[in-house]
Chain A
Amino acid sequence: MTMRKGLSEEILHAYVDGGLTSDERGAVEAHLALHPETAARARAWMSQNEALHQVYDQVLEEPHNVRVDTRPRAANAPFFWRNVAGLAATLVVGIAIGFVAHDYWSPAGGAPRTSIARQALLAHAAYVPEVRHPVEVTGREEQHLVAWLSKRLDAPLKAPSLVQSGYQLLGGRLLPAPASSAAADKATPVALFMYENAQGKRLSLLVRREVPNTDTAFRFTQEGHTAVFYWIDGPFGYALAGDVNKDELATLARLVYQQLNP
C-alpha cells in the first residue's frame, strides 16, 4: 500500500480498530513514523478504546434485574376488555355445550367438582340477567321455597342468609339434573338460590346431590367476570357464583359454609 502525504481518516480508524491486514498495518506505521502528530492522534484513539473497556467491561459481569418479559404488553389490555362482552356471550353458549358434552367426561373424582362449577357458571349466566323472572319462587316465600327444593332434592336444604354482607335472598328455582349423572345417587334435580344486594348485584348458590363423604376444601374457578367457589359437604355439593372479586366471594362463601355447618 502506498501512502500519499495524507493518510485517509478511514485508514487511520481501521488501523486503530484492528481492521487492517498486516501489510496495510506496516504501511500505516511507516507513515506514522514520519508524522508524529498523526501518530499521537492514533495513539490517543487507541487508548480511548482501551479505557472504554477498562471502565465499562465490569458491567458485563455485574448482577442485574433485566429480564426478557414475554407476557403481552399492557397496551393489549383495552383490546381484551373490549372483547369481554363478546366473550361473556360466547361463555353462555360454551358452558352450555360444555355442560352437555363434557359433564362427567373425565374420570370419576375430578369430574363432579369441575362439573358443579360449570353448572353454577351456566346457571349464573342464564338466570342472573333475568329482570322479571330470575327465580321461580321468591324470597318472600322462603319457607315454601326451602320445603319445595328439599322435597325435590330428597334431602333437607337450608337457604343461607347473606344479609350481614348486604345480600337479600331473592328466591330460588329448580334446575334439571346433570345429564347422565354418575356422581349423584339418583338423577335428582338441582337447587339454585339467588341473592341480590342494594346495588342490584346478584349471587347464585347452586346446591346439588353429590356422592356422600367426598368432602372437599373450597375450590375456586373463574370465567370472565364470574368467580365461583365450590365445595362438597355431606350429601351436597355447593357452588357460589358471583361477578365479584375473589376475596369478596371468599368471604361470602365462608358465610354460607358456616351457616350450613353450625
Chain B
Amino acid sequence: MASGFTVEQLQAQIPRLRRYARALTGSRESADDLVQDALERAWTKRALWRPDSNLRAWLFAVMHNVFVNGVKRTRPMASLDALNEESNVEPAASSASAETDAALREMQSALARLPVEQRQVVLLVGLEQFTYAEAAEVLEVPIGTVMSRLSRGRDRLRQLLDEEPGGHGALRRVK
C-alpha cells in the first residue's frame, strides 16, 4: 500500500504529541490515551496524508479531531477539584523537586480554567511552536480566529497565573 509515512516517522512524533496532550488534558492517563487513539487513527488514515505537507501538523490535526470527538468520553481536562488534590499531580521526573511540582500545579490549574479553544492555541503556539498558519491548519479554523483566540488566551492566562495562590511564585522562582 502506498503509505506516505513509516511507522518510524510516526514514532518519532510521539514525544511531542504526548507533551501537547499532557498540557491539553492535564492528566497523564488521558493524554496517553489520546495520543494512542490518534496514532491508531493516523496509521489507519495514512493514505490521506499528502507527502508534500507537514507530517507533524497533520498528526496534531488528527489528534485534535480525536480530542474533539472524545471530549465527553475522555475527561479532557481534569476538573479543578481533582487538580487541587496532590495525588492528581504527576511527580516531577527529575530530582527537582518541590519547586517544579509547584510550578506544574500552578500551570495546570491555570490552563484548566482557560477555555479549551484558547488553551489549544496558546499551547500549539507557545509550547509546540507552530506558526499561526500551522495552528490554523491543525484546528481547522481561519488564521484570524487563531490570532484572536491567542490574544484572549494569553491575556486570560496572565490573569489566571497572577491569581494563583502564591502569585505566580513557583513559576517565577524557577525561571
**B23 is an interface residue with CB less than 8 A from chain A:** yes
Which residue on chain B has the smallest CB distance to residue A53?
A: B127
Q: Which of B22, B129, B158 contacts A56 (CB 8 A)?
A: B22
**A217 is an interface residue with CB less than 8 A from chain B:** no
List B residues 106-135 near A (Cβ within 8 Å): 107-108, 122-123, 125-127, 129, 131-132
Contact yes or no, A66 B22, CB < 8 A? no
A89 → chain B, closest Cβ, in Å? 28
Which segment of A9-17, A136-144, A172-180, A222-230 sits at the interface? Answer: A9-17
Chain B contacts for A5, CB-based, 8 A = none
Contact yes or no, B15 A60, CB < 8 A? yes
Chain B contacts for A57, CB-based, 8 A = 19
**B52 is an interface residue with CB less than 8 A from chain A:** no
Contacts A10-B147, A41-B158, A59-B15; is A51 near B10 (CB within 8 Å)?
no
Contact yes or no, A51 B151, CB < 8 A? no
**B75 is an interface residue with CB less than 8 A from chain A:** no
**A48 is an interface residue with CB less than 8 A from chain B:** yes
**B103 is an interface residue with CB less than 8 A from chain A:** yes
Q: Which of B19, B35, B175 contacts A54 (CB 8 A)?
A: B175
A73 to B39, alpha carbons, bound, how many Å? 12
Contacts A9-B147, A17-B129, A50-B175; is A55 near B107 (CB within 8 Å)?
yes
**A68 is an interface residue with CB less than 8 A from chain B:** yes
A68 to B150, alpha carbons, bound, how many Å? 32
Q: Is the interface of A mostly helix, strand, loop or mixed?
A: helix
Contact yes or no, A47 B175, CB < 8 A? yes
**A83 is an interface residue with CB less than 8 A from chain B:** no
Contact yes or no, A65 B43, CB < 8 A? no
A48 to B153, alpha carbons, bound, how many Å? 11
Chain B contacts for A109, CB-based, 8 A = none
A39 → chain B, closest Cβ, in Å? 13
**A90 is an interface residue with CB less than 8 A from chain B:** no
A45 to B158, alpha carbons, bound, how many Å? 7
B141 → chain A, closest Cβ, in Å? 16
Which residues on B are within 8 Å of A, measured CB to CB? Answer: 7, 10-11, 14-16, 18-19, 22-23, 32, 35-36, 39-40, 43-44, 92-94, 100, 103-104, 107-108, 122-123, 125-127, 129, 131-132, 147, 150-151, 154-155, 157-158, 161, 171-172, 174-175
Q: Which 5 residue pairs spanning A and B have beta carbons closest together?
A: A52-B127, A59-B19, A49-B126, A60-B15, A44-B158
Q: Can you pick out 16 interface pairs between chain A and chain B where the beta carbons lie within 8 Å of each other?
A: A13-B150, A17-B125, A41-B155, A41-B158, A44-B154, A45-B126, A52-B107, A52-B126, A55-B103, A59-B18, A61-B15, A61-B93, A64-B14, A68-B43, A69-B39, A70-B7
